[in-house]
Structures are given as structure tokens and as C-alpha cells.
Chains A and B, each alone.
Chain A
């Protein structure tokens, strides 16, 4: 009973830590993005709240929390109210299987630095990533607005174009590691070296598909400010809009963590402790995604479909066959 209680306590501590770090980094990722993007466009970015505008995220969250939470007339009320939660929740839950270190020993107990190591961890991530789109599609539909509806439809269509490539690009990684568990995949890379050396093609396919999943420029079709207003979250205000925002930035972190886990060796690295290395890798991927946002124009609807179906999927399939042949030999 005592060990049970201790295990529960440890799990609670881990959950609180991970949740706190994820949300904190999400808030400051917004600041990093605004600052970096401003520099790319020869502007200053936020610089009024605190030095270097460092208090801007706090001011923003206070603003969102105190704003009125409006529901448009003729909206499907319950679906409208719940849709933002789906986006934020699925993004946060994805982190549950990402390992952020080896094991630490506290009071003679071995504690693995991962919230849950399930043997289908990779599929768990795919399941959540395909469910996150419901928040966007249903939020757009429930708003009862034409622009929001178009954004929602684009969200659903976008999922269909990139999801297969996302899944297929990781099959070679599973072949090399021999497991669906993220802990095992990181473990295999500690022995063999980061998978980016073995699978550069899979890395590129996964990075493109992951960028499409994050729904940011150049793949921000559901939002597309200059065509659709703000797309699926056009009618949202206050913290419900904030939840969409949190979902987006947590998603960026999760995708950074996934790229780190599948291709960059996870939390392994010299000198520094595991969690710090994982955070560094996440931030590097996030910075790259912000850079991409500042550089590339938005793709058109049919261009995204063409890339997904005619380029990424065939490449991923060829990659699987070639890797399979090498693994067999």
C-alpha cells in the first residue's frame, strides 16, 4: 500500500512538473516567436512590458483570462464551447509518452523519467494527432460562420493530405529500433547513434509532415489570415481563443520533442543532464519552425495535397522498402 501511495505521489509530481514546463515554455515560445519574427522583418517586436518585453506573455494571458467569453448567435453552443479544449488537450496528452531522461533514484526507488511507457507509444501519438483535428473542424463548423466553416473544412482536408506520410515516414524508425515504445527507440539510438544518420529521407518527410500538422505558415491553410480572417477560430474570444493558442504552441514543442526522440537521439547528449538536452533540441526545432514561418509563403490547397500524395507518400514507401531490405540483410 505504501509503495502504491509513493508511486502515485511520484506520478503526480511528474505530471505537475511536465505540465508546468510545457505551459511555461508555450507562453515564452510566443514571446520568442514574436521577437524572432520581428527581427527577421527588421522590427523590434514586443518591448514595452518588462525588459526586452519579457513580461509580455504574462500580460497577454491576463488579458485573455479577463476578456469576455462570447458565443455567437445560432452557434452550436456545446460543440463551440468544447472544441478549443480538444485542441489543447490532445496536444498536452501527446507528451505523456515522450521520455525526458533515464532513471533517477529517489529514496532507493528507481523512477523512470517518462510519464507512461506504453508499448504502442508511437501509435498513441498518431491517435492523438488525428483527434486534434476534431477541435479545428468542429470549432469551425460550430461557429456558424462561413469563414470559420471554410477553415474547419480545410483543417480536415489538410489532415487527409499529410497524415499518411507522417505515419509511413516513421515505419523505418520502428524497423531499426524494433519497437513502438518511445523509450526503446531512444535506447536503440544510444547504441546505434542518432537515426538521422541512417534515415535522412525519413527525417525530411517527417519534418515536412510535422510542420503541416502544426498548422503554421507555410501550412496554415485553416487559419490563413489574409484569405479567411482567422479561419476556424475567427469567432472565438478570451481564454477559448487562448486555448487554441496554447494548443498550437504545445504542439510545436511536442513535434520538436518527437523529432528529437525519433531522429536526434532523444535526451542523450554529452555533459548536460537528459531533460536539458531534450529542451535544447525542442527549442532548436521550434526556432527552425519560426524561421520557416518568417521565410516561406503559404501553400495553396491543391499544392499541399499534391505534395502530400504525389511526393511524400511515394518517397516514404520507397524508403520503407529500401530500409526493409537493409534490415533483412
Chain B
């Protein structure tokens, strides 16, 4: 086992543990903190696999911007440690079924994989320029579709946030 393999297993364990803790905490703020640690683990994993750009973006976008937004909303709502069970069985059962399906598929994939996948991956180092060139040459359509999706979401948010004909947004603000 190489040093990289040992590092990989440590990071993978860290990600699993922190994600597990994140989904079992009752305190929402603690959930966010554990999730940030989980994203850190993923970022380090990207770095280990030779993609420093992706590692930095993971921390900036997910651990930084998106989780801060989550934290902002959770702190504002002040909904700490709800006493009641979060999910009723009606929601819980389908979720568990889908989860088990994924687990079975994953195990099947590992079992049926050809022997070469057992070999350690070759370490590659992708410079930011090379990464960007590859992304925008080979996958430009996917990026355009994703950005279109974000644009639609942005327009939707703008529409919802706008004051309606009778000043709807202001009315809800006053009544709340």
C-alpha cells in the first residue's frame, strides 16, 4: 500500500464519518458544520487525485458560499433540535428502498468490475489551464445547459421576489 492509498482511505473514512454525523444530528447548525468538514474531505480527495483547481472550487463554492447561505437561513429560522421525528414512515420507506437499490447496484458494480480496476490509479496533475481547456472543449454543451438552468432559476427567483400586481410581496411581509 502506497502513502497515497493510505491517505485515500483516511480521507474516505473522514468523509463517510462526517457525512454520517451530518445526517444524524438534531441540531441543524451542527449538521452544517459536519457537512463543511465533509466538503473539506472531498476537496482534499480532489487534490490527492491531482486536481487542485477542483479542490479549490469545492471549498469556495460548496464549503464557502452555499453552506454559508444554509447557515444564514438556519440561524434566521431558529428551528433548533425539533422534538418530533423529522420524517414520517411514509416518506422514510421509499427513501430507504431507493437507498438500498443504490447500495445493491454499487456492490454489483464492484463485484462485476474487471481486474484492472483494482490497480491504483495513475497520479496525474491537471493545471488550471489544461482543466479549463478540456472542460470547455469537450463538454461545452453540458456547461451551456447547466448555465441555462441557472438562468431559468434566477428569473424564477426574480419573479417570485417581485412585488405582484396588488403588491403581493409587501402584503405577505406585513402580515407575517
> Which chain A residues have a beta carbon within 8 Å of chain B's beta carbons?
76, 79, 118-120, 123-124, 126-127, 130-131, 133-134, 137-138, 141, 149, 152-153, 156-157, 159-160, 163, 167, 180
Contacts and interface: CB of A to CB of B under 8 A. Distances in A.
A134 B68 CA distance: 7
Interface residues of B, number: 23
Given A141-B75, A156-B75, A126 B60 contact: yes
Given A126-B60, A156-B69, 14 more contacts: A120-B52, A120-B128, A130-B59, A130-B64, A130-B68, A137-B68, A137-B71, A137-B75, A138-B71, A153-B75, A156-B68, A156-B71, A156-B72, A160-B72
Contacts of A123: 53, 56-57, 60
A76 B128 CA distance: 40
A127 B64 contact: yes
A79 B29 contact: yes
B69 A160 contact: yes
Contact of A119 (B52, B59, B65, B76): B52
Residue among A79, A118, A131 with most chain B CB within 10 A:
A131
The 5 closest A-B pairs by CB, nearest first: A130-B64, A123-B56, A127-B59, A156-B72, A120-B56
Interface of B: 27, 29-30, 33, 36, 52-53, 55-57, 59-60, 63-65, 68-69, 71-72, 75-76, 127-128
B75 A163 contact: no
Nearest to A82: B33
A4 B121 CA distance: 27
B65 A141 contact: no
Main secondary structure on B side of the interface with A: helix
Given A120-B128, A127-B56, A134 B36 contact: yes
Given A120-B53, A137-B71, A153 B33 contact: no
Given A79-B33, A130-B65, A163-B65, A137 B56 contact: no
Contacts of A137: 68, 71-72, 75
Nearest to B54: A120
B75 A152 contact: yes
A138 B69 contact: no
Contacts of B29: 76, 79, 138, 141
A127 B65 CA distance: 9
Nearest to A137: B71
Contacts of B127: 119
Contacts of A126: 56, 60, 64
A152 to B, nearest CB: 6
A135 to B, nearest CB: 12
Given A126-B60, A134-B36, A141-B75, A119 B68 contact: no
